[in-house]
């Protein structure tokens, strides 16, 4: 097999732009040298490492879920999987990040729900008025 052949199905690849941004953001926090260049092979190595880690963590979380006789993996299953795979140092920052994400999206969801309800109500009103107008033509 040649070096340029894809080993991973495209559907499993992580988006290169996101991997590049995450790596550059983290490296810029660690270094004050300004703009950091990352070789294409290094980005591929980061991407593959993250993909493999996600597979390993998801398989472990899935085992935890099945042991509890459930079919849906929860965030707690992921936290337990991190602890089982000896990455417990990530649990606290991940929980904090998840909580922040939930708080940010709670307001968005409430606003989106109200907007969706308003659209449904307008649609029903429009349909009702269309029926009324259509009913007049039959007389």
Give the global pTM: 0.65
C-alpha 135/C-alpha 129 separation (Å) is 10
- Tell me how far apart the 2 most distant CA atoms of the chain are, in Å: 80
CB atoms within 10 A of CB 79: 19
CATH class of 13-86: mainly alpha
Q: Is 127 helix (H, G, I), strand (E, B) or coil?
A: helix
Q: What is the band of 139 on the pLDDT scale with cuts at 50, 70, 90?
A: very low
pLDDT of the residue at 83: 96
List pLDDT tens digits, range 76-114.
999 999 999 999 999 999 999 999 999 989 877 666 666
Mean pLDDT, to the nearest integer, of 22-32? 85
Q: What is the band of 25 on the pLDDT scale with cuts at 50, 70, 90?
A: confident
C-alpha 71/C-alpha 93 separation (Å) is 26
Q: At what angle do helices 16-30 and 40-67 cross, to 10 degrees?
A: 100
The C-alpha angle with vertex 43 and arms to 38 and 46, in degrees rounded to 5, equals: 125
- Delimit the domains of the chain by residue range: 13-86
What percent of the chain has pLDDT above 90?
52
Helices (H), 68-90: 75-84
Q: What is the band of 131 on the pLDDT scale with cuts at 50, 70, 90?
A: low
- Residue 23, pLDDT > 80, answer yes
What burial class does residue 50 get, using C-beta atoms within 10 Å of its C-beta: 0-12 exposed, 13-18 middle, 19+ buried?
middle
pLDDT of the residue at 126: 72
C-alpha 46/C-alpha 3 separation (Å) is 17
């Amino acid at each position: 097999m040649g070096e340029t052949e894809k080993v991973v199905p495209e559907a499993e690849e992580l988006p290169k732009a996101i991997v590049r941004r995450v790596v550059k953001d983290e490296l810029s926090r660690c270094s004050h040298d300004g703009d950091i260049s990352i070789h294409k092979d290094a980005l591929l190595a980061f991407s593959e490492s993250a993909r493999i880690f996600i597979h390993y963590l998801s398989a472990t979380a899935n085992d935890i879920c099945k042991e509890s006789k459930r079919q849906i993996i929860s965030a707690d299953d992921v936290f337990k999987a991190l602890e089982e795979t000896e990455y417990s140092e990530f649990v606290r920052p991940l929980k904090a990040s998840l909580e922040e994400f939930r708080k940010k999206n709670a307001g968005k969801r409430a606003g989106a729900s109200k907007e969706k309800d308003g659209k449904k109500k307008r649609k029903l009103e429009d349909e009702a008025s269309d029926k009324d107008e259509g009913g007049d033509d039959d007389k």
